[in-house]
Structure 1
Amino acid sequence: MQPEAPSEAEAQSSRAAPKFHSIWVFLIIDSVSFALFFLVFMVERLGQPEVFSQSARQLSEGFGLLNTAILITGSWLVALAVVSARQGDGNKTRRHLIAAIAVSSGFAVVKAIEYTTKVSAGITPLTNDFFTFYYAITGFHLFHYLLGMGALCFLVNATPRIAAGDERSRSWLEAGALFWHLVDLLWIYIFAMLYLLGVQS
């Protein structure tokens, strides 16, 4: 007997739903890109320990810690959204996602204040090698953060379909959550590498 062919609806859902092995490949490649940034930073730090230490002391650990707390809270709310989606509760999923967006928007506000403060003090990517890495790494992360926020906004509109049991929409939510958790994890490394360097020195 030949296996029964999938229905047209199943075929469409299969084509449109994200492939989780592909998503993991993307996340791994993205993580490797950041790892290369981190590796080059550490090599340069060994060559200029005093410059890097003195420059790191000009960063605000308070800003870095605040943004860490913001992203961890946002990740927690996104995780709650995924749990609610698996339970088929579209209303809770939507509320958790909106709360995650609201809380996580604080990251951009803090970053804007931090960048403005640095530029006003005459600290730019051309100041020294430390600040070249600071702007490059945090800017690259900020780009990922904006992509993640866009994904969360997109997923809010998918919550009615999630409540209706649409597996495709739930798969997209789980894929978006994975990306958002990566944004959070990368920031924790950045916070430790850049902001805590001045404390340790």
Structure 2
Amino acid sequence: MSRVYSSEARELPGDLALWFFLCAELAVFGLLIIGFCLVRLQYPEMFYHGLQQLHMAAGIANTLVLLSGSYFLVLAVERVRHTEMSPGGYFFAAAACGMIYIIIKISEYQQLYTDGYSLHYDIFFGFYFFTTFFHLLHVLAGVILLLLTQAWLKQNNSDPLGRRKGAESVACYWHMVDLVWIVLFPTLYVLG
């Protein structure tokens, strides 16, 4: 049975310029992760010790929180695509998940700092703090974008295509941030 796809189904979600930005961001994170893995091969004992100091429960909680935020965002975008529906509080719920991630990550940083670990402790913690803080800044930017999008969608009911493109663009950014964490989590917390 042949299935007919509309031109909308084949269209790239969001804005094309955003995709260039997302690819550049993924390349930067990719280089950081590759650098982390290469240095890890040089200093396996240091990295093993560093991995033992990280808080697995915080990593798992952050993974679940970010994935929950992505789920809420999928629901929000689907509602925006069906122009008769409001996105409800789904953008706000996704932003709340991002804030929970930030709170957990900052408390993890505080605990590591209390235990004597910092950006300058050794190469492992240099990579860990730099990479995860860079990711945290992306989560913070995502939270701000989600809240701005929620407010913008409440005010803009006259442009269904613009609403859809805007919602999809923010969702693509958030999913990129999620994807980076899905790679960072096992690299930092699991693969000892």
TM above 0.5, yes or no, is yes
Q: Percent identity?
A: 32
Opposite residue 177 of structure 1, the aligned amino acid is A
Please give the root-mean-square deviation of Cα atoms over the aligned residues, in Å.
1.6
Which residue number in structure 1 is paired with residue 21 of structure 2?
Answer: 26
Partner-residue secondary structure (3-state), 1:82 = helix
Which residue number in structure 2 is paired with residue 178 of structure 1?
Answer: 172
Does the alignment pair 1:53 with 2:48?
yes
Which residue number in structure 2 is paired with residue 3 of structure 1?
Answer: none
Matches of 1:89 and 1:141 in 2, distance apart? Answer: 35
Report how far residue 24 of structure 1 moved: 1.0
Which residue number in structure 2 is paired with residue 123 of structure 1?
Answer: 117
Partner-residue secondary structure (3-state), 1:88 = coil
1:63-94 CA distances to partner (integer Å, 9 max, x unpaired)? 00000000000001001100000111453x13
Contact 1:101 1:149 in 2 (8 A): yes
Report how far residue 197 of structure 1 moved: 2.8
How many residue pairs get aligned? The number is 180
Extract structure 1 runs of 4+ deviating beyond 3 A.
161-166
Matches of 1:142 and 1:104 in 2, distance apart? Answer: 9
Matches of 2:40 and 2:162 in 1, distance apart? Answer: 46
Q: How does 1:1-201 map to 2 (within 5 A)?
A: 20-91=15-86, 93-161=87-155, 163-198=157-192
More displaced, 51-60 or 102-111? 102-111
Contact 1:94 1:159 in 2 (8 A): no
Choose 1 or 2 for highest CA Rg: 1
Report how far residue 161 of structure 1 moved: 4.7
Report how far residue 99 of structure 1 moved: 1.5
Matches of 2:27 and 2:172 in 1, distance apart? Answer: 16
Matches of 1:117 and 1:145 in 2, distance apart? Answer: 20
Matches of 2:24 and 2:173 in 1, distance apart? Answer: 12
Contact 1:90 1:160 in 2 (8 A): no
Segments of 5+ residues of structure 2 without an aligned counterpart are 1-12
Segments of 5+ residues of structure 1 without an aligned counterpart are 1-17
Contact 2:98 2:140 in 1 (8 A): no
Report how far residue 53 of structure 1 moved: 0.8
TM-score (ref. length: structure 2)? 0.88
Which residue number in structure 1 is paired with residue 10 of structure 2?
Answer: none
Cα distance change, pair 102–89 in 1 and its aligned pair in 2 (3 A): farther
Contact 1:145 1:183 in 2 (8 A): yes
